[in-house]
Amino acid sequence: MTGQMSQAWAALRQAPAFRRLLALALAMSFARQAALLGMPLLTMHIFDGVTEGHNLDTLMVLSIAFVIALSMAGALRALRAALMSALADDMARRLSLEALQAAVRSALLGSRQPGLAALQDQAELRRFLGGNTIADLFDMTAVPVALVVLFLLHPVYALVVGAACVMMGLLGRVLDRTTRGLVRGASERQLKNAGELQGRLRQSDMLEGLGMLAAVVRRWEPAQAAALAEGDRAQARARAVRGVTEYASYMAQGGVVVVGVVLALGDRASPGSIIAAMMLAGTATQPIARIVLAWREWAFANLAWQRLQELFADHAAPAVRPADPAGPPGLWLRELRWTPPGGLHPVLADVTLYCPPGTVTLVVGPNGVGKSSLLRLALGLLPAEGGQALLGGQATRFADRALLGPRIGYLPQDVQLLDGSVLQNIGRFGPEDAAGVVDAARMAGAHEMIGRLPQGYATEAGPTGGLSMGQRRMIGLARALYGAPEFLALDEPEAGLDQAGREAVRDAVLAARAEGAACLLISHEPTLWSGHVDQVLRLAPGGHWRAETPGDATTAAGETAA
């Protein structure tokens, strides 16, 4: 169990003011154990003094002292619990934020599974930190305190109980080492199975309509059964070790009684010390036993912490770099190179393109040549193998997103609106700015459409809002235009719209250009933009690319092959 305990300490050390709070909690724990010593010591005095002297006044004084000591111990435990609860809440909030950010970054790279695991892992850690397992760890202070008092009563008492504590600690270590792999394997299998099933069930209409639901469940069930079987093997080993641990605790108390009787017969210990030693043996061994009994909480919290740390390391936010004051205004793509995960050859090879303010650049090419990836590279959402994208001299990949976001307008292919009103979505959930939102909606040609919604700008826009694909796209375009961004990145903005909608999109882009925005857009309808763009970037398979001005296809800005 030492490996899991070290992981818990490592987790707590990430919390603010950890050392000060830890020192206070440890001091409270030692003070509580000192107060709890009153019970075995008072019991010893009662048996050795009051029983022999028949002094009821002494019994009354000792009883009052016992009540005071017990009350102090209870108060210290309550204070410590409140302190640790505040620390756990603070840490859980921080982990939740980091887990959500890492989940989004992993999704940007095309993997939703780590994000799903991250959200479940931070919930597991919150349950762990809010439970009693951390308190059990602090109660381990009872072990040295009890052993010291036992040694003062008689060294043999301390030897017997110390040996039992060592044995229980070794059993906990064995439990940790023998079940760690099984727990991790079972947990990862279950997460994978849950993710796969969730992905399949998103197509509920197709599954139900074609009668495929039963077949999907049959394919999923064997993998889930295998994961549960692996978890059952870990549980079986844990039950065996926990049983031996409980046995060791009882043996320690029984051994102390036997040793105490032998010592008392030789006049080397008093009868009261036997009872006190037996109580102290329970005080020393019970915290270790509780930690071993809480095996499941320790194991899963340890696993959740390890997975989160791996996710944070793999999907950490890039370090912010200062902007180059000599960088040109607008967007500059400089020798961008990118290969998809698992690919052997680059899809984008040394693409170089300058989009000055107040221009529209059209990206065209067949499917699979990296058009959407180029847009995401320009926004700094994907890591480039080589080169960089600069917006006004600032590398977008290494920018503070809170500062860069308002400078950018982005409309992805798959428009996603968040839970909230149309007003909140267009305003990017910032401070309420109704005038700015309406201006952006008018610019996008969406104002009249929004006015026809049941509650206008107050209409729910999230997944349950009932908006059509075209309505979501127009609202998404208004969100991209909100705040007059200096760089506009649009991925097939006219897709799924009727002729009036496509013309409204084109007019919105031209209005943004007139206000000085550098516009980079992807389209499969070049005729819609004919005569309205300043340059065209043509992407072709094999990493080939060519930048040209309309009407002069021979002015190649560059061409390269993977």
- Residue 13's CATH number: 1.20.1560.10
Determine the angle formed by the axes of helices 434-444 and 499-514, rounding to 10 degrees: 120
Residues 157 and 238 in one domain: yes
DSSP string of 485-498, one letter each residue: -SEEEEESTTTT--
Percent of the chain scored above 90 by pLDDT? Answer: 23
Same domain, 270 and 401: no
> Pairing state of beta strands 394-395 and 545-548?
unpaired
Q: Is the pTM of this model over 0.75?
A: no
Determine, yes or no, domain membership for 435. yes
Same domain? For 349 and 254 the reply is: no
Q: Is the pLDDT of residue 493 over 80?
A: yes
Mean residue pLDDT across the chain? 77
Q: Specify if 561 maps to a domain.
A: no
287 and 405 belong to one structural domain: no
Residues 307 and 398 in one domain: no
Asked if 383 and 293 sit in the same domain, the reply is no
pLDDT of 527-545, one tens digit each? Answer: 889 889 999 999 998 888 9
| pLDDT value of residue 355 | 94
Residue 389: band (very low, low, confident or very high) from pLDDT cuts 50, 70, 90: very high
Helices 295-314 and 113-130 cross at an angle (nearest 10°) of: 140
DSSP character string of 322-362: ---TTSPSSEEEEEEEE--TT-SS-SEEEEEEEE-TTEEEE
pLDDT digits (tens, 9 = 90+) for 238-294: 666 666 676 677 777 788 888 888 888 887 878 778 888 888 888 888 887 777 777
Final residue of a domain: which of 282, 314, 346? 314
CA 78 to chain centre: 30
In a domain, 212, yes or no: yes
pLDDT class for 464, splitting at 50, 70, 90?
confident
Domain membership of residue 19 (yes or no) is yes
User: Would you place residue 518 in the very low, low, confident or very high pLDDT band (cuts 50, 70, 90)?
Assistant: very high
The more confident residue out of 1 and 45 is 45
Reduced to 3 states (helix: H, G, I; strand: E, B; else coil), residue 539 is strand
Q: Radius of gyration over alpha carbons of the chain, in Å?
A: 34
Q: Are residues 301 and 351 in the same domain?
A: no
Is residue 291 one of the residues assigned to a domain?
yes
- The mean per-residue pLDDT over the stretch 95-102 comes to 66
Could you tell me if 282 and 350 lie in one domain? no
* Greater pLDDT, 41 or 385: 385
- In three-state secondary structure terms, 395 is strand
Is there a domain that residue 554 lies in?
A: no
Residue 151 inside a domain? The answer is: yes
What are the strands, taking DSSP E only, across 331-459? Answer: 331-338, 348-355, 359-364, 386-391, 394-395, 408-411
Residue at a domain's end among 284, 314, 344: 314
Number of H helices, E strands in the chain: 21, 10
Answer yes or no: is 322 within a domain: no
Structurally, how many domains does the chain consist of? 2
Q: Note whether 525 and 515 are within 8 A (CB).
A: no
Task: Please report which residue ranges of 202-212 form alpha helices under DSSP H.
Answer: 204-209
| pLDDT for 141 | 78
397 and 454 in one domain?
yes
Higher-confidence residue of 31 and 370: namely: 370
**304-341 residue pLDDT tens:** 777 777 776 666 667 788 888 888 899 999 999 998 87
- Is residue 302 domain-shared with residue 410, that is, in the same domain? no
Region 387-404: mean pLDDT is: 90
Q: Which of 259, 289, 314 is the last residue of a domain?
A: 314
Environment class of 494 (CB within 10 Å of its CB; exposed 0-12, middle 13-18, buried 19+): buried
Place of tokens 């197709």: 206
**Residue 152's domain spans which residues?**
2-314
DSSP H helical segments within 109-154, as ranges?
113-130, 133-138, 142-153
Query: Band of the pLDDT at 554, cuts 50, 70, 90?
Result: very low
User: Could you tell me the CATH number of the domain that includes residue 372?
Assistant: 3.40.50.300
Residues 295 and 369 in one domain: no
Highest mean pLDDT of the ranges 59-73, 187-201, 392-406: 392-406
Do 267 and 388 belong together in one domain?
Answer: no
Note the pLDDT tens digit of each residue in 14-37.
Answer: 544 556 666 777 677 777 777 667
